[in-house]
Amino acid sequence: MRLKDKVAIITGAGRGIGEGIALRFAEEGAKVIVNDVNETDANRTVEAIKTKGGKAVAVIGSVASREVAQKMADTAVQEFGTVDILVNNAGITRDAILHKMTDEQWDQVIEVNLKGVFLCTQVAARVMREKGYGKIINISSTSWRGNPGQLNYSATKAGVIGMTKTAAKELAPKGINVNVIAPGMIWTDMIKSMPPAMVERMEKSLAFIVPLNRKGAPQDIANLALFLASDESSFITGQLIHCDGGMIM
Ligand SMILES: NC(=O)c1ccc[n+]([C@@H]2O[C@H](COP(=O)([O-])OP(=O)(O)OC[C@H]3O[C@@H](n4cnc5c(N)ncnc54)[C@H](O)[C@@H]3O)[C@@H](O)[C@H]2O)c1
């Protein structure tokens, strides 16, 4: 087991990529704090872990709330004794082209995708610093390089890369590794909620966009997150790794 008895906080773990990471980490022996705004989904992930004999506790609420972020770290310490791993996975889209984007769409995405990563990183790192050990994995997106209709989202996903590198430099002397994954097209509800015409176009042109010519799955990201959460990656920090079937080379 690659994460035996490690304690992991995973944000947005009720479905999609976060759920995939939570289930994979639990299979490898981690005790998991499952965060999500959606209580039903978070509880489903917790039950799935428990059914297989693992340990998990749900913390419901938004990553953009300092109280919720603090509760994740406090619950990890109270229930499982510490925080070893944080995966900043929760993220949202509120797509619109530049001239139609509202202040609300801009603010919502900044709050969750940027402030949420700041808050969860700060509270978890406080626990990790004390013991001189920790792994922080942020989830960006290939959209950090720019994607029409995603001015707000791409700004946050590029911002997360900057945060990763600063946190990696600040926390390296404390034995904490901080890395960032940029997923490509991963078939979750996030993609399925896009306009049907756009999804159809993506499916039809898959072979041209994705050299490995298949749809990404949450397990693809979970496997990379597992490597970055394990001690197999102990000499890697501050790195951006694309996991996208070769979209970006
Ligand atoms: N699916 C993709 O193709 C893709 C590509 C690149 C990056 N990503 C990134 O991967 C991450 C996960 O994406 P996904 O495809 O699984 O999305 P998803 O929408 O399927 O799942 C996101 C989960 O986060 C939860 N969530 C939303 N806002 C939250 C908040 N404020 N606090 C706590 N939880 C919250 C949702 O309830 C949901 O369970 C996101 O950061 C996303 O930007 C996804």
CATH of the domain at 123: 3.40.50.720
How many domains does one find in the chain?
1
Nearest ligand 1 atom to the CA of 17 is 16
- 193 has pLDDT over 90: no
> Does 236 reside within a domain?
yes
Is any ligand 1 atom within 6 A of the Cβ of residue 245? no
C-beta neighbour count of 96 within 10 angstroms: 15
Res. 160: pLDDT tops 90: yes
Instruction: Answer whether 92 contacts ligand 1 (Cβ < 6 A).
Output: yes
Whole-number Cα distances in Å, 199 to 60, 140, 223: 30, 20, 25
Is 133 considered catalytic here? Answer: no
Helix (H, G, I), strand (E, B) or coil at 174: helix
Looking at the domain assignment, is residue 174 inside a domain? Answer: yes
Looking at the predicted structure, is the pLDDT value of residue 25 above 90?
Answer: yes
Residue 229 belongs to some domain of the structure: yes
> Is residue 2 one of the residues assigned to a domain?
no
Whether 248 is in a domain gets the answer no
- Tokens standing for residue 201: 């176009």
Determine if ligand 1 sits within 6 Å of the CB of residue 193. no
| Confidence grade of residue 198 (pLDDT, cut at 50, 70, 90) | confident
> Among the atoms of ligand 1, which is closest to the Cα of residue 91?
41
Q: Long-range contacts for 37-41 (Cβ within 8 Å, ≥24 apart)?
A: 37/61, 37/62, 37/90, 38/14, 40/14, 41/14, 41/15
Whether 224 is covered by a domain: the verdict is yes
| pTM of the model as a whole | 0.98
Q: Which residues contact 13 (CB under 8 A, 6 or more apart)?
A: 19, 21, 22, 32, 34, 35, 36, 42, 45, 89
Q: Is the model's pLDDT at 141 over the cut of 90?
A: yes
Structural domain harbouring 208: 7-243
Question: Which among 8, 35, 45 has a CA at the least distance from the CA of 90?
Answer: 35
- Which residue from 190, 203, 243 has its CB within 8 A of the most atoms of ligand 1, so it is best to mutate? 190
Cβ atoms within 10 Å of 118's Cβ, excluding its own: 18
Helices (H), 172-205: 189-192, 196-204
Q: What percent of the chain has pLDDT over 90?
A: 95
Q: Is the CB of 38 under 6 A from ligand 1?
A: yes
Per-chain mean pLDDT for the chain? 97
Q: Is 15 part of a structural domain of the chain? A: yes
Assess if residue 1 is contained within a domain. Answer: no
